[in-house]
Amino acid sequence: MTLALAPMEGLVDQAMRTLLTQKGDFDFCVTEFLRVTDKLHSERAFRQICPESLSDWKTPSGTPVHLQLLGNHPQAMADNACRGAQLGAPAVDINFGCPMYVRSAQKSHNSRNRENKINACGETYGGSILLQFPEEIYQLLSTIRKALPSHVPLTAKMRLGYEDKSLAIENAQAIEAAGVSQLCIHARTKIEGYKPPAHWHYVANIKEAVNLPILANGEIWTLDDYILCKQESQCDDIMLGRGAVASPDLAHQIQHYETTGEKRAASPWRQHLLYLNWMILELQNLQPEKAIHGKIKQWLSFMKMQHTEAQACFTHLRTATTVTALLDAIAVMLQDEPAFNQA
């Protein structure tokens, strides 16, 4: 069983990766995507997207961090993949799942001279829009695979499709034919976005059509969701996304279940307050103080999806804009938490 932490643009950065992997429950995690146009990025750009690259591409707990790229220019993507490998990236992942960066390319994709128009204008796109064009996916990935050193795995993440699921199997087969060694499938289309449900049974259909290790992803918020996802997708390997952010102990619950066969109860709210406290202290070393308040509010907005206490916490911290004020407010909440006082 492989358990991975998904890349989430603007959310799962170095601090969040450090927090969520601190117990060693994830086998690997993936960076936010590095967007590639037609240029080779500087070393600095790779260091910014993955500060862990200065520590052997591992989080402090030793969890490997894979590099993710997004773009459509085959040679530029290959060049940047090779630079990532030169800098030590343990694997290179290509994003065909992100619903971003699609509008500017739509006009060109509908044009008869789409390829020439894109090249002439230097237009780039990426993510889920490419799921409309399996041959383009194949050409992109095969170019990267041929350029990338053979010892560096090339992986990919896709959704079930763009507007519908009609090309899901064809896309997966194109990805396999290009030499990709592992595929993660978010079990919704781009148009479906993040609206429940995730269609895990479609992942099972794809799994039967290709001979690739597949990780199922999407709408896994609880241990029961995880168990059901494995059953319906027929996948032993899972990638957690928003559920891991909303409940930082979810991966630990999963690993306990896989090891013992027993379901462990979710952590009490006081533990999540301690997570918040830890994150604020961690962010002090990584971000300007004025950005920390927004990051904590963003995290709490995800926690509200699974924890009723998060709304009151959000309200309590809303006006605490400095690090000192945030820490003081959390200290007050911990003191008012009966379970914490009894611990």
* Distance separating alpha carbons of residues 73 and 103, to the nearest angstrom: 17
* Distance separating alpha carbons of residues 343 and 339, to the nearest angstrom: 6
Residue 302 placed within a domain: yes
Q: How confident is the model over 24-35, as pLDDT tens digits? A: 999 999 999 999
Averaged pLDDT, 230-259 = 97
* Distance separating alpha carbons of residues 258 and 328, to the nearest angstrom: 38
Q: Are strands 65-70 and 34-35 parallel, antiparallel or unpaired?
A: parallel
Phi-psi region of 24 (alpha: psi -120 to 50; beta: other; left: phi over 0): left
pLDDT recorded at residue 100: 64
Work out the pLDDT band at 123, boundaries 50, 70, 90: low
pLDDT recorded at residue 121: 34
pLDDT recorded at residue 119: 31
Domain match, 300 and 177 both: no
Work out the pLDDT band at 337, boundaries 50, 70, 90: low
State yes or no: pLDDT of 41 exceeds 90: yes
State yes or no: pLDDT of 92 exceeds 80: yes
Averaged pLDDT, 275-287 = 92
State yes or no: pLDDT of 280 exceeds 80: yes
Domain match, 197 and 52 both: yes
Domain match, 186 and 94 both: yes
Q: Are strands 182-189 and 65-70 parallel, antiparallel or unpaired?
A: unpaired
Kindly state the greatest CA–CA separation across the chain.
Answer: 69
* Distance separating alpha carbons of residues 239 and 299, to the nearest angstrom: 19
Which of 197, 231, 260 corresponds to the end of one domain? 260
The two tokens of residue 283 are: 């962010």
Domain match, 310 and 168 both: no
Work out the pLDDT band at 306, boundaries 50, 70, 90: very high
Domain match, 156 and 293 both: no
Of the candidates 91, 94, 188, the one whose C-alpha atom is nearest the C-alpha of residue 139 is: 94
* Distance separating alpha carbons of residues 167 and 174, to the nearest angstrom: 10
The rounded radius of gyration (Å) of the Cα atoms in the chain is 21
Residue 343 placed within a domain: no
Number of structural domains the chain divides into: 2
pLDDT recorded at residue 338: 56
State yes or no: pLDDT of 58 exceeds 70: yes
Domain match, 136 and 70 both: yes
Residue 137 placed within a domain: yes
Domain match, 240 and 328 both: no
Of the candidates 5, 64, 74, 89, the one whose C-alpha atom is nearest the C-alpha of residue 38 is: 74
Which of 225, 260, 295 corresponds to the end of one domain? 260
Q: Point out the residues that are catalytic.
A: 98
State yes or no: pLDDT of 131 exceeds 70: yes
Are 284 and 301 in contact, with CB atoms under 8 Å apart? Answer: no
Of the candidates 252, 308, 245, the one whose C-alpha atom is nearest the C-alpha of residue 24 is: 252
| Element containing residue 305 per DSSP (H, E) | none
pLDDT recorded at residue 117: 30
Are 81 and 148 in contact, with CB atoms under 8 Å apart? Answer: yes
Residue 206 placed within a domain: yes
Work out the pLDDT band at 112, boundaries 50, 70, 90: very low
* Distance separating alpha carbons of residues 243 and 139, to the nearest angstrom: 34
State yes or no: pLDDT of 107 exceeds 70: no
Place of tokens 């260091």: 47
State yes or no: pLDDT of 86 exceeds 50: yes
Which of 227, 260, 293 corresponds to the end of one domain? 260
Q: Are strands 214-217 and 237-240 parallel, antiparallel or unpaired?
A: parallel
Averaged pLDDT, 154-177 = 98
Domain match, 158 and 236 both: yes
Domain match, 168 and 214 both: yes
pLDDT recorded at residue 286: 85
Domain match, 317 and 209 both: no
Percentage of residues of the chain with pLDDT beyond 90 = 87
Domain match, 255 and 319 both: no
State yes or no: pLDDT of 108 exceeds 70: no
* Distance separating alpha carbons of residues 227 and 9, to the nearest angstrom: 26
Q: What is the CATH number of the domain that holds 295?
A: 1.20.225
pLDDT recorded at residue 102: 46
Residue 193 placed within a domain: yes
CA atoms within 13 A on the CB side of 234: 10
Percentage of residues of the chain with pLDDT beyond 70 = 91
Q: What is the CATH number of the domain that holds 140?
A: 3.20.20.70
Q: How confident is the model over 186-195, as pLDDT tens digits? A: 999 999 999 9
State yes or no: pLDDT of 341 exceeds 60: no
Residue 246 placed within a domain: yes
Residue 278 placed within a domain: yes
Helices (H), 128-197: 134-147, 168-177
Q: Write down the mean pLDDT value for the chain.
A: 91
Domain match, 285 and 195 both: no
- DSSP line for 26-64: -SEEEPPPEE--SSPPPHHHHHHH-GGGGGTTB-TT--B
Domain enclosing residue 274, as ranges: 269-338
State yes or no: pLDDT of 250 exceeds 70: yes
Are 243 and 5 in contact, with CB atoms under 8 Å apart? Answer: no
pLDDT recorded at residue 309: 95
